[in-house]
Chain A
Amino acid sequence: MNPQAMKTLAVVIWSVVIWVTEAVPVGVTGLIIPMLLYVTGALPKMPQAFAGYTAHTTYLCLGAFIFAALMQLSGLDKRISIACLNFFRASSADQLIRAMFINNFILAVLIPATAARGATLLPIVKGFLGVFNSSPAEQRAKSHIVIQCMVYSTIMCGVIVMTAHMPNIIMVNLFQKKLGITIGYLQWFWLHLPMLFLWIPIYFWTRYYFGTKGVSIDGGTERIKAMKAELGRTSLIEKILLGLFGMTAVAWALSGSVIKIEAGIMTLMVLCVFFIPGLLPWKWRLIQQNTTWGTFLFLAGAMSLSVGMSETGLAAYLADLAKPIALDRHWMVTLVILMVMTHIMRIGMLSNVAAVAFLAPIMLDLAPIYNLNPVPFTLLICDIDTFAFLIPTQLTIGVLAYSLGAFTMKDYAIVGAGSMVISMVFDIFVMAPWYAFNGFPLVP
């Protein structure tokens, strides 16, 4: 190990302890990490130490955070959710869960960060829980709805849309910095599209566990109508925002390929349109209050740490240490061993971003040791890291869902363990071949 890597290791250990104990707000750690990388001499140049702050993907996310703030201010997020439920006439637990999955997918395109989407869904799900009676079947249906709609669907849809889940951004940035491979917004979407089908086996498993087949929601349709009536007619600003978001989506889709401008810069160009004087009816102060600056700082800091681990050789050193764990085994066995180890490590961590910031650079260096392609290898392991469903405290969205008091820890753990096994099997037998089909074979 070289001295730079050792200094980076000190920063990594500091970060992990702070993230696990939540001793410092995560947004502040996003500033402290690059500062420590700089002052310790691990990365003695400012642009290296603060690499996360100069990445294109960081600004893609910042733009998405501002768009999400505008959406929340206008109430468009709530209107989309209720319109979706109304369209699918959710009058049974099954229908509600299916409608909420589609709603989750639409929200994933529009709102970055799973916690932000969870905050949007929380009052809607809470409203639905109120129409249930206290019979055992309905109690179990409530558990099923909360776990599926708020946790599983939100997380799965997050993996599919690049901007919907911060670990995606960390991986894309690492692939670009370390391997020179650029994965665009649309390419990411295509690469992860089969993840939509992961929802099906998980849905049937959770339905089997909770026994909610055919449980009807008496008064569900009326509830949706009441929610819709509460919102009133679509306002002018909501229509304007829908148009602007449509334009942003087209810009993201075309950036890098048709238009030779990176997605981050394209996002900032789109912001110029959003902020044409007189277009938005809110003062900047209000918009900035609703923007998740802490998450932005956290993301940029975590990305700086990932790049630092990679550039100083620390990731390679740790990968070399981890080598014996799964050396000379079939690639499927290698994946299973590493996925299980990742899940064990994740039990103590609340944040997916933190876990992937630490894991992704190691996986990137571990792959060549096992003679595997680093891109699909990192994606397969880090995507599985996201499906940490054993205890609610592993995910911010899990904590939000738990606050509704609709399920027990035991139910969450049992149904979560089953879902994690399903996701691992799906990852190996569906995602690995799919990546290979799209030019990223795991075994070169």
Chain B
Amino acid sequence: MSRNTEAPGIGAAAMVSPRETLPREMKSREKGSVRPEAQWEMPKLQVILGFVGAWAVFFLTLCLPVPEA
């Protein structure tokens, strides 16, 4: 695992230790903290229909001719 040892700013370069420049998730791993496990689940039919329907109606409305006042 390579470490990013570049300091974030010119002035700060001398003051920042390589440990501080580690990405947050690496620090977490070093501390032994556990990331939440990714869990996929099938969305409900209502959600799928709602999502697809909303975008379909959105684009359809954009394509419709503008009604006269």
Interface residues of A, Cβ cutoff 8 Å to B? 1-3, 6-7, 9-11, 13-14, 17-18, 20-24, 36, 40, 317, 320
Contacts and interface: CB of A to CB of B under 8 A. Distances in A.
B44 to A, nearest CB: 9
B64 A6 contact: yes
29 contacts: A2-B66, A3-B66, A6-B61, A6-B62, A6-B64, A9-B61, A10-B57, A10-B58, A10-B61, A11-B58, A13-B54, A13-B57, A14-B54, A14-B55, A14-B57, A14-B58, A17-B57, A21-B46, A21-B47, A21-B49, A21-B51, A22-B47, A22-B50, A23-B43, A23-B46, A23-B48, A23-B50, A23-B54, A320-B69
B67 interface: yes
Contacts of A320: 69
Contacts of A6: 61-62, 64, 66-67
Contacts, number: 57
Interface in B1-57: 43, 46-51, 53-55, 57
Contacts of A40: 62
Consensus secondary structure, chain B interface: helix
A24 B55 contact: no
Interface centre among B46, B55, B62, B66 (most CB of A within 10 A): B62
Contacts of B58: 10-11, 13-14, 36
A37 to B, nearest CB: 12
B48 to A, nearest CB: 8
A9 B65 CA distance: 12
B50 A20 contact: yes
B61 A13 contact: yes
B54 A21 contact: yes
Nearest to B51: A23
B47 A1 contact: no
Contacts of B48: 23
Contacts of B59: 10
B4 to A, nearest CB: 23
Contacts of B43: 23
Contacts of A21: 46-47, 49-51, 53-54
A300 B8 CA distance: 33
Contact of B66 (A1, A22, A23): A1
Contact of A17 (B54, B62, B67, B68): B54
A14 B57 CA distance: 7
A320 B58 CA distance: 22
Given A6-B61, A10-B61, A11-B58, A17 B66 contact: no
A1 B67 contact: yes
Contacts of A22: 46-47, 50
